[in-house]
Chains A and B, each alone.
Chain A
Amino acid sequence: MESLIRAWRLAHASENGKLLASTLSLTNTDLEEFAYSTNSARVAEDIFRTLEYENSAARPKVTNKAGLEAWAEVYVGFWKVAQALERYDEVEWGTVFSGMKEVTQAVIRGFQNAGWEVWQLEVLFTACKYLRYVAIRADEAKRAAGEDTWKQLEEAARIINRAFNVCLNDRAELAQSRKWGTYYIINLLFKTYFKLNAITLSKNILKALVANTTEMPDLLDFRTSEVVTFKYYCGVIAFLDEDYFKAEEHLDMAYRLCHKAAQKNKELILTYLIPTKLLTHRQLPTAALLKPYPALEALFLPLAKCIKAGNIREYDENLAKGEDWFVKKRIFLTLERGRDITLRNLFRKVYLAAGESKTRIPVDHFRAAVSWKSGVDVEAEEVECFLANMMYKGYVKGYISRERGMVVLSGTNAFPGTGV
C-alpha cells in the first residue's frame, strides 16, 4: 500500500498524470502487495492514514482533509478490486466490477466536488478504461454460465456517460478545462455502445457534442490517437446511417492521420472505407493498397476483380464466401450494391463489343451477356429490369423501347464516368 500511495504523492509533486493514473491500473505490479496490505475491516482507516502520512510528508501538501477523503474513497474501491483479483483462486468478476464501479464513481466525484485538475484527467481515463474491461469480463463470466446479459457493461456505459458529461460541461477556462478529456471518454463510450449494439446512443453523444461545439477546443488540438479513433467511429456511424459521403469524409481523415505502424487500426478503417468509396465514387481498391492486410486482401481483392470484369456469377460467389464476415462487420448490405457496378461494367462491354458508334442494341444482346456471365438463363423481362435500374440510377444514359426490343443509348457519354 505504501508504495502505491507514495506514487500518489510523487505524481502530485510533479503533476504527472500518467504516474497518478498508474496507481489505479490493473497491470500495476504492486497490485498483489496492495491486496494483501490490509483487510476489509481496516482498509478505510489504513488507506486514509497512509494518505494522511504521505500528505504531511509532501512539501507543499498535496491536498486538504476533504481531498484526502476523496482519494481515500478511490483507493478503498481500488483495494476491493485488487483484493478480488489477487486473493482468490477464481476471480469473481462481478465483485471486481462493483469495486471498479466504486473507483470510477469516486473519481468522478473527485472531479466534480474535490476540484481535481486537468492534469489528473488521466485518472478518469484509466478508471473508465478498466471499468469497461472489467464489466466485459464480468458479463462474459455470466454468459459462459448461460445467462444472456450485458447488464454490467450497460451499467459501465452509464457511468462512463457521466464521466463524459463531467468533461463536456466543464465551464472552466480552456487551459484548465476538463473538456480536454472529452474525446478520450467519447471514444470509450463509442466502443462500449458498439459492443452493446446500441449505436443510436452514440448518436446522442454526437448530438451533445455538436450542441457544445463552439466552446470545444479544435479537434486537431487533441491527441492524434484520440482524433483517429473518434473519426473512425464517426465514419462508421455515418456509414451505418447510409450517409456515405459523410462517412467517406470521416474515414478518409482517420486513415490519413492514422499512425503508419498502426496496421490493425488502418485495417479497421479500410474495412469501411473500401465499401464507402465503392458507392460514392465507384472506386475499387488496388492490389497494392490491400497488400499489407492479408485478411482484407483475401476478401476484397477477388470482389474488386469481378466487379471490374463484370463477372456476375463470381461476384455473387465471392460475396457469399465472405458473407459471414461482411455481415458481422455490417458491410454486407453495402457491398451487395457492388453488383450494380458489376452489371454496369458488363453492359458497358456489350456496348463496346457492338462498336463505338452503335447506339441501338437489341435487349437480347444484353440478355445473352447476363446469361453467360451469371451462368443461368435469364428472361428478357429481368434483363430489362436490370437495364431500367441502371438508367434510373444514372449508371447508363439511354432508354428502352419495348415495342422494338431495343436499348437506345445516348450518343455521348452513355456510361458516365467510365470514359465511354
Chain B
Amino acid sequence: MATPPWRTAGGTAVQRPGYHPVTIKKTLGTTAAAANNYTASQKPASRTQFPDALKAYVARTFEDCPTENKAEVEVALKKIITEAFENGSVWTIDWATYPLPAAARRNSGDSDRMDTSSDDASPVAAPAHTLGKFHKIGKGLNGSTAVTTTNGNNKRKLGSRNQSDHSEPDRGTIMRPDKRSKKQANSDYSYEGPDAFKKLDRKYKKHQTKNVFSQYNAMHSALDSPAFAPVVGRSTKLEKRYLRLTSAPDPDTVRPLHVLEKTLDLLKSKWKAENNYSYICDQFKSLRQDLTVQHIKTDFTISVYEIHARIALEKGDLGEYNQCQSQLANLYADKIPGGHPHEFKAYRILYLLHTCNRSDMNDVLASLTPAEKQDRAILHALAVRGAVASGNFHRFFRLYLDAPNMGGYLMDSFIDRERLAALATICKSYRPDIPFRHITEELGFENDSECEAFFVKHNAADFIKTKDDANAGGKGKIVLETQRALPTLEAAKAAAFKRVDIKGQI
C-alpha cells in the first residue's frame, strides 16, 4: 500500500500551473491497456511520488475552484488521492478523465452531478441531435423565450476534448443549464446600466489584495532591460569636459563615485577661488552625467544637483537651474535622504511665478503638505505668489527685500517685469504726479539713482520732472508725471510679459 505524500512529508502545497493542462482523453477501450502500460513502465521508484497525470488533475481541480470552496476541495481531494494510494489504483486511474471533486466546481447543482457522472455518458453528443437543438436555441433567443438544454457536458470538458475534436464539431456544449442561461434574452444582453464601472469595481474588489510580488517583478524587469543597465566607471581623472552622449557610455571615461566625491570638492574650491561660471557649469554637467549613467542616486547626488542649482541661480542661468530643479524633484520624490527639499520647493514656486505657469502652480499648491506650509522659505514663496496674484506690489517688494536663501536671485528674474506692472498701475491711478522718492521706496530700489537707471532703460526718463513745491520752501521736488508716462510704461509691461520663455522648462 502506497502512502500518500502528505503522510510522509509536509503538507500538500498545490501549485497552480502557469499553463492550462490539456490532457488527452482516453476512450474506455484503451484505458485498460494504457493502465497496464503505466503499471509496467511507470511504477514509481519512490513511494511518495505523484504520477504526472495526477499532478495535472490536482492543478485542474484548483484552477477553477472558487475561493470559498478551497478548504472543502482540499479535503475531498485528499480523500480521493488517499483512496487511490490505498487501493493501489493511483497509477492505473486515468486522471485526465477522472471526475473532479464536486466542491471544485463553480456552480453546484445539476451540472455538477452530470459532470461527475458524465465521464462515459456524454463526452460526445450526436451531432445531428445537437445541431437541431442549436437552431432551436437561436430562435428562442430571437423570440426571447426561455432556453434550456439538457446537455450536461461541462465547460471544463472543452479543455480536455482534443481527441474528439477533429471528428466532431464543437456542438457538444451549448450552454450550462443554470439559472443565468435561462434568462438569456435580448434585453438581458444589451442592457448595460450607466453605473457599469461601479458594478465592476464592486465585483472585482474582493480580489484586490496587495500583490507583494509586483513591485519585485517591476524592479527586476526594469533592471533586466539592457538600456537601463548601469555602467561602472573606471576613470580616475577629476575633471572632465561635458559631452552629450550619443551612444552607450564608455566605462573608461566614466568616473566612479569615490572619484566624483573628490571632483565635487575640487569644483567647490575652484568656484570660490575663480568664480568662472562657464567652466564650473561644464564640469557640473559632466559630473551629473557620470552619476546618471552609473545610476547613482544618493544624498551625494542630491548635493551635486543642489550645489549646481544654487550656482546657476546666482548666475541667473535659469535653464540650467531648472534642469537641476526637475532632477531634484525626482530625487526628493524617491525619498532619498538628505538635501533641502523645502528650500527647493520654495524656489520652484518662485520659478513658476517667473514662467507664469498657472497650471503647474496649481499642481505645486495641491502637493504641499502641512509641514511644508509651515516652512519659512515656502511661506515666503507663497506670500510672494499671493502678492503677485492680487497685484499687491507694496507687499511684493517688501517680500523681495526679505527673501530667504537664494530666493532673491530667483525673484531678480521677474522683478523688472513686476516693477513695470506696478508702474503701469501707479500711472493709471495717481494724479497729477507721484513723488519719485515714493517710487524708489515702493518698488524696492536700493536708491534713487538705481530707480532712475530703470526709467532710462525703459525710455521713460523723460517723464521725471522737477516740480516747484511751495510747501517745501521753493526747493524743487522730483516727481513722475503719471498721465504722460502711462502709454510708455504700459507698452514696456506688455513686452515684458510676452517674453516668458525658458529653455529646458518642464
Contacts and interface: CB of A to CB of B under 8 A. Distances in A.
Nearest to B391: A389
Interface string A86-114: 01111100000000000000000000000
Given A39-B158, A333-B358, 14 more contacts: A2-B134, A6-B137, A10-B186, A27-B199, A36-B158, A42-B159, A49-B170, A141-B208, A330-B359, A333-B365, A337-B390, A381-B394, A385-B391, A392-B424
13 contacts: A7-B141, A18-B192, A19-B190, A22-B192, A23-B189, A29-B184, A57-B135, A327-B365, A336-B386, A339-B390, A384-B394, A386-B392, A389-B390
B142 A10 contact: yes
Given A197-B363, A337-B389, A340-B390, A29 B180 contact: yes
Contacts of B394: 379, 381-382, 384-385
Interface string A17-46: 011011101111110110011111110001
A328 interface: yes
Contact of A46 (B19, B158, B390, B442): B158
Interface stretch (A144-152, A216-224, A250-258, A348-356): A144-152
Contacts of B359: 199, 240, 330
A374 interface: no
Contacts of A177: none
A145 B214 CA distance: 7
A3 interface: yes
Contacts of B204: 85, 91, 137
A50 B170 contact: yes
Nearest to A336: B389
A392 B390 CA distance: 12
A142 interface: yes
Contacts of B448: none
A148 B332 CA distance: 14
B24 to A, nearest CB: 12
Interface centre among B171, B200, B392, by most chain A C-beta atoms within 10 angstroms, is: B200
A324 B200 CA distance: 29
Interface residues of A, number: 79
A402 B210 CA distance: 68
B264 interface: no
Nearest to A25: B192
A402 B431 CA distance: 8
Given A40-B20, A145-B211, A399 B430 contact: yes
Instruction: Report whether over half of chain B's contact residues are helix, strand or loop; otherwise say mixed.
Output: helix
A19 B186 CA distance: 7
Nearest to A94: B214
Contacts of A2: 134, 137, 173-175
B190 A89 contact: no
B390 A90 contact: no
A299 interface: no
B28 to A, nearest CB: 24
B392 A36 contact: no
B141 A32 contact: no
Given A57-B135, A385-B392, A385-B394, A3 B175 contact: yes
A309 interface: no
A26 B200 contact: yes
Contact of B214 (A142, A197, A388): A142
A420 B386 CA distance: 30
Given A10-B141, A39-B22, A328-B366, A385 B393 contact: yes
Nearest to A381: B394
B438 A402 contact: yes
A142 B216 CA distance: 11
B362 interface: yes
Interface in B163-188: 165, 169-171, 173-176, 180-181, 184, 186, 188
Given A3-B181, A33-B155, A41 B190 contact: no
A127 interface: no
Interface in A194-248: 197, 199, 240, 242
Interface centre among A6, A88, A137, by most chain B C-beta atoms within 10 angstroms, is: A6
Given A386-B392, A389-B390, A333 B189 contact: no
A90 B181 contact: no
Interface centre among A10, A21, A340, by most chain B C-beta atoms within 10 angstroms, is: A10
Nearest to B385: A333
Contacts of A23: 189
A38 B141 contact: no
Contact of B20 (A39, A57, A379): A39
B138 interface: yes
Contact of A30 (B159, B184, B358): B184
Contacts, number: 194
Contact of A144 (B199, B210, B432): B210
B402 to A, nearest CB: 15
B215 A145 contact: yes
A27 B141 contact: no
Interface of A: 2-3, 6-7, 9-10, 16, 18-19, 21-23, 25-30, 32-33, 36-42, 46, 49-50, 53, 57, 85, 87-91, 126, 133, 137, 141-142, 144-148, 197, 199, 240, 242, 323-324, 327-328, 330, 332-333, 336-337, 339-340, 379, 381-382, 384-389, 391-392, 399-402, 408
A19 B185 CA distance: 11
Instruction: Report whether over half of chain A's contact residues are helix, strand or loop; otherwise say mixed.
Output: helix
B395 A382 contact: yes
B272 interface: no
Contacts of B428: 388, 391-392
A199 B191 CA distance: 33
Interface string B120-148: 00000000000000110110011000000
B429 to A, nearest CB: 4
B207 A33 contact: no
A147 B215 contact: yes
A146 B386 CA distance: 35
Given A3-B181, A6-B138, A40-B20, A87 B211 contact: no
Interface string B65-101: 0010000000000000000000000000000000000
Interface string B431-471: 11011001000100000000000000000000000000000
B35 interface: no
B478 interface: no
A90 B435 contact: no
B54 interface: no
B395 A49 contact: no
Nearest to B158: A38
A42 B392 CA distance: 72
Contacts of A26: 196, 200
Nearest to A31: B203
Contacts of A146: 215
A142 B67 contact: no
Contact of A53 (B156, B169, B361): B169
B390 A336 contact: yes
Contact of B175 (A33, A144, A332): A33
A28 B200 CA distance: 10
A46 B363 contact: no
B434 to A, nearest CB: 5
A33 B111 CA distance: 13
A332 B390 contact: no
Contacts of B390: 336-337, 339-340, 389
Contacts of B391: 385, 389, 392
Contacts of B438: 402
A318 to B, nearest CB: 16
Interface centre among B67, B138, B218, B333, by most chain A C-beta atoms within 10 angstroms, is: B138
Contacts of B189: 7, 19, 22-23, 28
Contacts of A144: 210
A382 B175 CA distance: 80
Given A16-B190, A19-B190, A38-B158, A333 B361 contact: yes
Given A25-B196, A391-B429, A333 B362 contact: yes
